[in-house]
């Protein structure tokens, strides 16, 4: 029996999809515990390119069962589409995908409200994915939410829907009359209800039973620690808790059953959407990283903002998640960049900060204090052993480990599973 959390320790898009795919064949279960179809996990499998939004990446491992936990917000239309996308590519989903009956649903009005808030926010917009994530989580904590179990029971669902529509009507006018919005919500309801019914389960009980049977469970986060609603750059965050602590809340796993935490971290930094990003490169180097790293959002296609590695943010994330291990991704993208810079502290006014500040004004004003290292040259893609890496690349990797306070268990040098160096560590989930 063992449990592992794979968690992003930057602003998302660290390459978690590949790492989960790499480790997933050992897992009996892969569980998503937060977020929704705002995520975009890219996996290359069987020479095919898959982008998964809501379904755990473990679905691409034929022997693995997958659970969408209670902490996820589920858009039934998006889930239906994703299942059809996978089935068309001969991925067998039925009987392997399970959805917690306590997960909340995203309905058409959540998507409308997300767009409305963004369009009205002017300079204060978050840059959300406009998938209705924030409004669905707002309803959840505001106790107006509709859970999967409610959605499947028309006599519970209909009055809840009417209450929500009445409450939100004044805001929704721009999108049409109340009856038009009701039609938008209900248009595929019978078909979606039929589709969802066989997938639905008691999530926490299922996790408990898997633990009792000594199964291996991998918990897959979406987004990253710096987008966590509590620990990220609030309010420029998503509305859930990607951190490892979110696993227990979002799946029902008992806290004392969490064994390993693997943080996934890119060799530089990216962020999509608005908000503080102290090491952002707004020059041609940022542009070059975007081009070489193909840094475009997997969900919205937006160009990602790119910048230097921020050891202040990652160190804080490693501590919050309790990462015993890290997976370093996209080291190859830094080939030929000289010198390499790493932020080791921030300067705010005349103060030097060694820890990531919670204060939003300080986050916005933080100027990175950089340490410089020589770059490395030549192609490192295809290298299989750590010792093959150029000395300067190894020095960069070792310096990152020192600065963030956790060892690397693997280094990814490309999208396919073969393009990975496995380091000699005691990490128990060896790929
Ligand atoms: P929301 O999750 O759609 O509400 O968006 C809130 C913030 O999180 C925005 O800055 C998004 O760009 C960002 N975000 C949401 N999902 C992802 C992701 O999977 N990767 C990177 N950023 C994300």
Nearest CA to ligand 1 atom 10: 273
- 212-258 pLDDT tens trace: 999 999 999 999 999 999 999 999 999 999 999 999 999 999 999 99
**Centroid of ligand 1 to alpha carbon of 425 (angstroms):** 32
Q: Please give the CATH topology (third level) of the domain spanning 2-100+202-257.
A: Adenylosuccinate Synthetase; Chain A, domain 1 (3.40.440)
Nearest CA to ligand 1 atom 15: 38
**Centroid of ligand 1 to alpha carbon of 238 (angstroms):** 6
Best of 78, 124, 138, 238 for a ligand 1 pocket test (most atoms within 8 Å of beta carbon):
238
- 331-371 pLDDT tens trace: 999 999 999 999 999 999 999 999 999 999 999 999 999 99
pLDDT for the residue numbered 367: 98
Backbone angles phi, psi at 224, to 5 degrees: -150, 170
Per domain, the residue ranges of the chain are 2-100+202-257, 105-194, 265-422
Best of 128, 231, 280 for a ligand 1 pocket test (most atoms within 8 Å of beta carbon):
128
pLDDT for the residue numbered 47: 81
**Centroid of ligand 1 to alpha carbon of 223 (angstroms):** 7
**Centroid of ligand 1 to alpha carbon of 386 (angstroms):** 33
CB 272 near ligand 1, within 6 Å: yes
In this prediction, residues 61-67 reach a mean pLDDT of 94
Instruction: Band the pLDDT of 43: cuts 50, 70, 90.
Output: confident
Q: Is 351 helix (H, G, I), strand (E, B) or coil?
A: strand
| Exposed e or buried b per residue across 374-383, where buried means at least 16 C-beta atoms within 10 angstroms of its C-beta | ebbeeebeeb
CB 127 near ligand 1, within 6 Å: yes
- CATH no. of 265-422: 3.90.170.10
CB 126 near ligand 1, within 6 Å: yes
CB 223 near ligand 1, within 6 Å: yes
pLDDT higher than 70, residue 428 = yes
**Centroid of ligand 1 to alpha carbon of 125 (angstroms):** 12
pLDDT higher than 90, residue 424 = no
Spatial contact of 388 and 397, defined as CB atoms under 8 Å apart: no
Burial class of 210 by CB neighbour count within 10 A (0 to 12, 13 to 18, 19+): buried
**Centroid of ligand 1 to alpha carbon of 406 (angstroms):** 26
Secondary structure letter of residue 362 according to DSSP: H
Class of domain 105-194: mainly alpha
The answer to whether the 2-100+202-257 and 105-194 domains have the same CATH topology is no
Crossing angle of helices 108-120 and 133-141, rounded to 10°: 110
Instruction: Specify the residue for token string 């020192």.
Output: 402
Instruction: Band the pLDDT of 42: cuts 50, 70, 90.
Output: confident
- 133-179 pLDDT tens trace: 999 999 999 999 999 999 999 999 999 999 999 999 999 999 999 99
Burial class of 177 by CB neighbour count within 10 A (0 to 12, 13 to 18, 19+): exposed
Best of 36, 112, 273, 299 for a ligand 1 pocket test (most atoms within 8 Å of beta carbon):
273
CB 273 near ligand 1, within 6 Å: yes
In this prediction, residues 409-415 reach a mean pLDDT of 95
Best of 272, 293, 305 for a ligand 1 pocket test (most atoms within 8 Å of beta carbon):
272
C-beta neighbour count of 65 within 10 angstroms: 21
Instruction: Band the pLDDT of 45: cuts 50, 70, 90.
Output: confident
pTM attached to this predicted model: 0.96
**Centroid of ligand 1 to alpha carbon of 127 (angstroms):** 8
CB 36 near ligand 1, within 6 Å: no
pLDDT higher than 90, residue 40 = no
Compute the radius of gyration of the chain from its Cα atoms: 22
pLDDT for the residue numbered 1: 59
CB 244 near ligand 1, within 6 Å: no
In this prediction, residues 87-112 reach a mean pLDDT of 96
Comparison of pLDDT for 192 and 42, the residue scoring more: 192
CB 136 near ligand 1, within 6 Å: no
pLDDT higher than 90, residue 299 = no
Nearest CA to ligand 1 atom 21: 12
Nearest CA to ligand 1 atom 8: 238
Residue 228 corresponds to which tokens in the numbers above? 């966590």
CB 227 near ligand 1, within 6 Å: yes
Comparison of pLDDT for 44 and 397, the residue scoring more: 397
CB 303 near ligand 1, within 6 Å: no
Point out the residues that are catalytic: 13, 41
């Amino acid at each position: 029996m063992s449990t592992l959390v794979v968690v992003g320790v930057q602003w998302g898009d660290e390459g978690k999809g590949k790492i989960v795919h790499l480790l997933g064949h050992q897992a009996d279960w892969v569980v998503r515990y937060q977020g929704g179809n705002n995520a975009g996990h890219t996996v290359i499998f069987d020479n095919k390119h898959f982008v998964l939004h809501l379904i755990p990446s473990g679905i691409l491992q034929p022997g693995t069962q997958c659970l969408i936990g209670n902490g996820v917000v589920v858009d039934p239309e998006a889930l239906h589409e994703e299942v059809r996308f996978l089935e068309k590519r001969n991925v067998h989903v039925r009987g392997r995908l399970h959805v917690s009956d306590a997960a909340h649903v995203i309905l058409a009005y959540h998507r409308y409200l997300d767009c409305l808030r963004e369009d009205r926010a002017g300079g204060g917009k978050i840059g959300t994915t406009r998938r209705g994530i924030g409004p669905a989580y707002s309803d959840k904590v505001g106790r107006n939410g509709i859970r999967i179990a409610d959605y499947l029971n028309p006599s519970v669902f209909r009055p809840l829907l009417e209450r929500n529509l009445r409450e939100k009507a004044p805001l929704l006018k721009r999108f049409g009359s109340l009856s038009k919005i009701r039609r938008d919500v209900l248009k595929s309801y019978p078909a979606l209800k039929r589709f969802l019914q066989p997938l639905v389960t008691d999530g926490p009980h299922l996790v408990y039973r898997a633990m009792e049977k000594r199964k291996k469970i991998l918990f897959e986060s979406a987004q990253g620690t710096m987008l966590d609603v509590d620990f990220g750059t609030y309010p420029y965050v998503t509305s859930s808790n990607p951190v490892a602590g979110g696993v227990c809340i979002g799946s029902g796993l008992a806290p004392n059953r969490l064994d390993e935490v693997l943080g996934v971290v890119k060799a530089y930094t990216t962020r999509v959407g608005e908000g503080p990003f102290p090491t952002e490169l707004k020059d041609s180097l940022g542009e070059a990283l975007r081009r070489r790293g193909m840094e475009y959002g997997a969900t919205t296609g937006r160009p990602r903002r790119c910048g230097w590695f921020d050891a202040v943010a990652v160190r804080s994330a490693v501590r919050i998640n309790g990462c015993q291990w890290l997976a370093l991704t996209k080291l190859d993208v830094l080939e030929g960049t000289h010198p390499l810079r790493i932020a080791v502290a921030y300067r705010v006014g005349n103060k030097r900060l060694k820890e990531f500040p919670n204060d939003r004004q300080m986050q916005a004003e933080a100027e990175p204090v950089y340490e410089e290292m020589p770059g490395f040259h030549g192609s490192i893609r295809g290298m299989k052993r750590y010792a093959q890496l150029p000395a300067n690349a190894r020095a960069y990797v070792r310096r990152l480990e020192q600065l963030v306070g956790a060892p690397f268990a693997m280094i990814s040098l490309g999208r396919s599973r073969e393009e990975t160096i496995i380091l000699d560590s005691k990490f128990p989930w060896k790929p």
